[in-house]
C-alpha cells in the first residue's frame, strides 16, 4: 500500500521538477543564467557543461557575462551558444563573452505565456496519468486479495490528495512564470 503511494509521489515529484526545469530555460526578458544549463562546450574534445569552463555572471538585468577560465575557449563557447536554441548572438571582446537579451514585445510575451500554460497542462495530464496507474494497481491488488476494500479506499483517497497537491503546485508554477513573463 505504501509502496504504490511512494512510487506515485516520486513520479509526480519528477514531473514537477521537469516542468520547473523547462520553465527555467524560458527567458522572460531578463537575463537568467539557467538558460545556459544545457549548453555543452567542446573542452579539449570532451563535451563539458559551460558552467565548468567559465565564470557566468549577470551584471545587469538584460545581460549575461561569460568569462572563460581558459581564453582559448572563447571561440568554442561562442560556437556552442550559436548552435544552441537560445536565440541570442554572443559578442566578445577577446576576454569576455556577452549575451544581451532584447526587450520582449507584447506579442512575444503572450506567445511565451501560451507556451507556459501548455507545458503546465501537459504536466497536469502526466500527474493524472500517474494517479490513474496507481488506482489501477490498487484495484488489481484488491482483486488479488493483497488489499481489503477499506485499504483500497484509503489508498485511493491518499493518491487523490497527493494528485491535488501536485496539481496545485503546477498551477502555482504556471502563475508565477506567467507573471514573470508579463512583468515589463
Residue-wise pLDDT tens digits, 107-123: 888 888 898 999 999 99
Give the chain's domain count. 2
CA-based nearest residue to 37, from 26, 47, 22, 50: 50
DSSP SS3 for 32 = coil
Q: What average pLDDT score do residues 142-154 get?
A: 87
Element containing residue 175 per DSSP (H, E): helix 149-182
Give the CATH number, domain containing residue 70.
Answer: 3.30.1360.40
Q: Average model confidence (pLDDT) for the chain?
A: 87
| Strand pairing report for 54-60 and 46-49 | unpaired
Q: Do 167 and 138 reside in the same domain of the chain?
A: yes
Q: Do 109 and 91 reside in the same domain of the chain?
A: no
Per-residue pLDDT, 184? 62
Last-in-domain residue among 100, 133, 153: 100
pLDDT digits (tens, 9 = 90+) for 31-40: 778 778 888 8
Last-in-domain residue among 100, 130, 153: 100
Q: Do 139 and 154 reside in the same domain of the chain?
A: yes
Instruction: Decide if 40 contacts 48 (C-beta within 8 A).
Output: yes
User: What is the band of 15 on the pLDDT scale with cuts at 50, 70, 90?
Assistant: very high
Q: Do 51 and 116 reside in the same domain of the chain?
A: no
Last-in-domain residue among 79, 100, 121: 100
Distance of alpha carbon 109 from alpha carbon 121, whole angstroms: 18
Which grid cell is 98? 556577452
Amino acid at each position: 500500500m505504501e509502496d504504490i503511494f511512494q512510487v506515485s509521489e516520486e513520479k509526480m515529484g519528477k514531473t514537477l521538477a521537469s516542468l520547473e526545469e523547462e520553465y527555467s530555460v524560458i527567458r522572460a526578458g531578463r537575463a537568467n543564467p539557467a538558460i545556459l544549463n544545457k549548453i555543452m562546450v567542446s573542452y579539449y574534445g570532451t563535451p563539458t557543461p559551460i558552467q565548468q569552463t567559465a565564470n557566468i555572471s549577470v551584471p545587469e538585468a538584460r545581460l549575461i557575462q561569460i568569462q572563460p577560465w581558459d581564453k582559448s575557449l572563447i571561440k568554442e563557447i561562442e560556437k556552442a551558444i550559436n548552435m544552441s536554441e537560445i536565440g541570442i548572438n554572443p559578442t566578445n571582446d577577446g576576454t569576455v563573452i556577452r549575451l544581451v537579451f532584447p526587450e520582449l514585445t507584447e506579442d512575444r510575451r503572450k506567445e511565451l505565456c501560451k507556451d507556459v500554460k501548455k507545458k503546465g497542462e501537459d504536466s497536469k495530464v502526466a500527474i493524472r496519468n500517474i494517479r490513474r496507474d496507481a488506482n489501477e494497481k490498487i484495484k488489481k491488488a484488491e482483486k488479488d486479495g493483497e488489499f481489503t476494500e477499506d485499504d483500497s479506499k484509503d489508498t485511493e483517497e491518499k493518491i487523490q490528495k497527493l494528485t491535488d497537491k501536485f496539481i496545485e503546485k503546477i498551477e502555482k508554477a504556471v502563475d508565477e512564470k506567467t507573471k514573470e513573463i508579463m512583468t515589463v
